[in-house]
């Protein structure tokens, strides 16, 4: 796996953001952790939404940060991950959690999700979040392995709209 860095989305990555979006659509993949990218018709629209989400949000939502995972050797987006500032919300506290993420379909099974989550857990620690909820579908073995590799401990399985989900907690030390 090549080295990656989490960075805030910017117009510098506009073309690749839309290519990432199209790749997810073509693969009929979930847009977990991508905010409203699914509904956006331009990278600029999505960037404006994620920037605004850092300080304000619509009713029923929570403030959050979104990051693109950029591979340093070629400056390509390999994934998108978000960090919800809190989970004081019925959906987030039940099954949405603090973090959601997606790896570009062509870049999966290369270890990027594990490193994205590791880096974002540092962001959680920096925000003073010491207990992080991360969830995944029961059949998503890759995501489960990613969460466990980053210290996730299974709390329980729950049913959400007929779909089984696993809830994991990651305890972060505050230094």
Given a cut of 60, whether residue 151 has pLDDT beyond it is: yes
Question: Are the C-beta atoms of residues 112 and 103 closer than 8 Å to each other?
Answer: yes
Confidence category of residue 174, pLDDT binned at 50, 70, 90: low
Given a cut of 80, whether residue 79 has pLDDT beyond it is: yes
Helix, strand or coil, per DSSP, at residue 32: coil
Given a cut of 70, whether residue 138 has pLDDT beyond it is: yes
Question: Are the C-beta atoms of residues 37 and 80 closer than 8 Å to each other?
Answer: yes
Q: What percent of the chain has pLDDT over 70?
A: 99
Q: What 8-state DSSP symbol labels residue 78?
A: E
The predicted structure's pLDDT at residue 173: 77
- With vertex at residue 53, the alpha carbon angle to CA 174 and CA 166, rounded to the nearest 5 degrees, is 60
The predicted structure's pLDDT at residue 88: 87
Helix, strand or coil, per DSSP, at residue 72: coil
Burial of 75 (0-12, 13-18, 19+ CB in 10 A): exposed
Q: How many CB atoms lie within 10 A of CB 25?
A: 11
């Amino acid at each position: 796996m090549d080295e990656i860095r989490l960075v805030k989305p910017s117009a510098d990555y506009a073309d690749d953001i839309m290519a990432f979006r199209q790749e997810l659509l073509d693969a009929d993949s979930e847009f977990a952790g991508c905010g409203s990218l699914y509904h956006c018709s331009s990278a600029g629209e999505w960037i404006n939404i994620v920037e605004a989400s850092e300080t304000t949000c619509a009713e029923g939502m929570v403030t959050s940060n979104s990051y693109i995972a950029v591979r340093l050797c070629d400056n390509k987006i390999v994934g998108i991950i978000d960090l919800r500032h809190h989970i004081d919300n019925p959906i987030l506290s039940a099954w949405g959690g603090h973090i959601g993420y997606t790896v570009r379909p062509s870049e999966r099974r290369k270890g990027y999700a594990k490193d994205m989550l590791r880096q974002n857990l540092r962001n959680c620690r920096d925000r003073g979040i010491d207990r992080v909820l991360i969830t995944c579908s029961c059949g998503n073995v890759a995501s489960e392995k990613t969460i466990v590799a980053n210290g996730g401990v299974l709390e329980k399985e729950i049913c959400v709209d007929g779909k089984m989900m696993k809830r994991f907690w990651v305890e972060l030390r505050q230094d």
